[in-house]
Chains A and B, each alone.
Chain A
């Protein structure tokens, strides 16, 4: 499984298929988006591919300013679509409803997964963790690597008598959101005292800025335990562990295991946290990265005319269908079919001044192709 993950990483770029250009007439528009930095490389790749497909007519300007900024600009209606690793809060969803008279959708785009990374002299890849040991260590209750709880999960591994030094993200991040959401679901004490969010009040540990900051602490500190995006851990040769999921299976983190985590019922508005998934083979520390888009496109002040609304709808539909073929070459997980269906249903309800542009666009593409 590890090989399966690494292979596409290195094949990336070279294997990008040259998209057949479309014969359709596209309005010449620039689609403005902003938000999470985690899916930014993927959105940029989608944008390039899509520009080629539309013979340069539709360009996408995506600014990787962070989920917080993405949500804020989306709520202030200065962008046509946002991207976020945290779902819209109830308050924001409600505010969007009063502002635009319709729903604000959390459209699944891809999945993010978080690996438990560590640096223990003499211990290699694949140390086994469960909810108890991860939460215990990050709460500061398990303080040494040779703790009986960790040892019990890893018979045959010689664990040194070394203090555990926790490394966490100091910047607000979707990775932290997914990781702390997992801890909140699996550990009552964590839920009561810390909770989840893109920034939390960490009980112990050193904060590093960005994936690279945490990786830096982990790699330079013997005895460090942290968490990173799986892609980042793989590309930078950081040792990471396997995690026992809710069904009791030990899961090796991989793009497939992450996709499998989404094999659960997804609600209509898309707002579901996949952490501690019920899926038997799913990796438990994973979550969606969402696109944010208003149901009533005409009520978003950033969208000026019908052409822009139609092209945005088309681009979003392309992302969740054809666009998904690029994901794995860039080490992003592919949306599972259920999630794709939910996303398609959302897109089909998009409207411009009451006209169902979503339905029209999808029907047209299904009938005539790209």
Chain B
């Protein structure tokens, strides 16, 4: 914090730069930023404190690997929920990346300005829809439609001709892993689009012109000149979307079918860490039940931070322009 003012130490600054306004401003920004850091740390510590009875009863590792969640008999394990969270988030991300990048590239490189404006506006609008609204729509329209149109026929076909698929698919229920994942993908597309679009938009025009001057085709320009340059920003966008998918609660809880027992199947109900927390927190009376929900929350915190750290590491490794664009 001492080098906010740069490399020149404060005492050597001319009087003009040591005025009270500058000092006051510095104090305000520094304390605001420290407050944010303190807040995050305090949150983690508080959740950990509330979760302690669980860690004491089961141990950190056993709670992580236990697959039973049985509040009645006081056996709690986080594995089904961690697995469910990672599975839905990464599947959703995998589904979202290609279409989102496609839209971002089309908007920045191909579309005429008026069309790009319409698309950008719509994408931003999509990002602004509250997840509970998307959830409601999916509960009443999307989920029954998908079950009747896709899951049922696919399942019946698998029973006939690909019996090895059946244990993987599971009997289709209205609310299931596949529906939750698709909706999650739909919800993160706008984020990925918006962030990659901005990253691609910041690639200097000279970069493109240089590539064209070398005789590149449009595709080669995008592949060799634009995307590598924008790579850091695009990856940042993707990872922010992943963070959103990991923590997404309402729409997932409404659509995933909330089954606390592994194994999960594609067309059968499952559960995630946030969906468990929102479902059981209100009525958790027993101490161990309550603290186990807190412990799941603590692991969610850890998983999210872990993925974010990994993300910034990858981002730094891949970045070709030091210091960012």
How long is the Cα–Cα vector from A65 to B283 in the complex, in angstroms? 8
Task: Say if the beta carbon of A207 comes within 8 Å of chain B.
Answer: yes
Query: Would you call B258 and A207 a contact (CB within 8 A)?
Result: yes
Query: Would you call A171 and B72 a contact (CB within 8 A)?
Result: no
Q: Which positions 73-110 of chain A face chain B at CB distance < 8 Å?
A: 84, 86, 89, 92
Query: Would you call A206 and B175 a contact (CB within 8 A)?
Result: yes
Query: Would you call B285 and A201 a contact (CB within 8 A)?
Result: no
The smallest beta-carbon distance between A268 and chain B, in angstroms, is 22
Kindly list the 5 A-B residue pairs having the minimum CB-CB distance in the complex, ordered from nearest. A172-B283, A207-B258, A66-B282, A170-B258, A195-B72
Q: Which positions 116-149 of chain B face chain A at CB distance < 8 Å?
A: 139-140, 143-144
Task: Say if the beta carbon of A270 comes within 8 Å of chain B.
Answer: no
Q: Which positions 198-213 of chain A face chain B at CB distance < 8 Å?
A: 198-203, 205-209, 213
Task: Say if the beta carbon of B289 comes within 8 Å of chain A.
Answer: yes
Query: Would you call B173 and A171 a contact (CB within 8 A)?
Result: no
Query: Would you call A209 and B279 a contact (CB within 8 A)?
Result: yes
How long is the Cα–Cα vector from A15 to B104 in the complex, in angstroms? 60
Task: Say if the beta carbon of B254 comes within 8 Å of chain A.
Answer: yes
Query: Would you call B283 and A198 a contact (CB within 8 A)?
Result: yes
Q: Which residues of B contact A203 (CB under 8 A)?
A: 261
Known contacts: A171-B283, A172-B280. The answer to whether A221 contacts B173 by CB under 8 A is yes
Known contacts: A72-B285, A89-B286, A213-B254. The answer to whether A165 contacts B279 by CB under 8 A is no
Task: Say if the beta carbon of A173 comes within 8 Å of chain B.
Answer: yes
What are 16 A-B contacts defined by CB distance under 8 Å?
A: A68-B284, A68-B290, A92-B285, A165-B173, A170-B279, A173-B283, A174-B283, A198-B285, A201-B72, A205-B269, A206-B269, A207-B258, A207-B269, A207-B271, A220-B144, A221-B174
Interface string of A59-73 (1 = CB under 8 A from B): 000000111110110
Q: Which residues of A contact B259 (CB under 8 A)?
A: 202, 205-207
Which residues on B are within 8 Å of A, measured CB to CB?
68-73, 139-140, 143-144, 171, 173-176, 253-254, 257-261, 269, 271, 275, 278-286, 289-290
Point out the residue from A72, A165, A171, A221 that lies within 8 Å of B280, measured CB to CB: A171
Q: Which residues of B contact A199 (CB under 8 A)?
A: 71-72, 279-280, 283-284, 289
User: Do most interface residues of chain B lie in helix, strand or loop, or is the interface mixed?
Assistant: loop
Q: Which residues of A contact B174 (CB under 8 A)?
A: 206, 217, 220-221
How long is the Cα–Cα vector from A46 to B87 in the complex, in angstroms? 47
Known contacts: A202-B259, A220-B144. The answer to whether A194 contacts B284 by CB under 8 A is no
How long is the Cα–Cα vector from A194 to B280 in the complex, in angstroms? 17
Query: Would you call B143 and A200 a contact (CB within 8 A)?
Result: no
Q: What is the total number of residues of chain A having a CB less than 8 Å from a CB of chain B?
A: 39
Query: Would you call B72 and A207 a contact (CB within 8 A)?
Result: no
The smallest beta-carbon distance between A104 and chain B, in angstroms, is 14
Q: Which residues of B contact A213 (CB under 8 A)?
A: 254
Query: Would you call A207 and B279 a contact (CB within 8 A)?
Result: yes
The smallest beta-carbon distance between B235 and chain A, in angstroms, is 35
Query: Would you call B173 and A206 a contact (CB within 8 A)?
Result: yes
Q: Which positions 157-199 of chain A face chain B at CB distance < 8 Å?
A: 163, 165, 170-174, 194-199
How long is the Cα–Cα vector from A216 to B289 in the complex, in angstroms? 27
Query: Would you call A89 and B72 a contact (CB within 8 A)?
Result: no
Q: Which residue of B lies closest to A217 (CB)?
A: B174
Q: Which residue of A lies closest to B73 (CB)?
A: A195
Interface string of A312-342 (1 = CB under 8 A from B): 0000000000000000000000000000000
How long is the Cα–Cα vector from A217 to B174 in the complex, in angstroms? 7
Q: Which residues of A contact B286 (CB under 8 A)?
A: 89
Query: Would you call A171 and B279 a contact (CB within 8 A)?
Result: yes
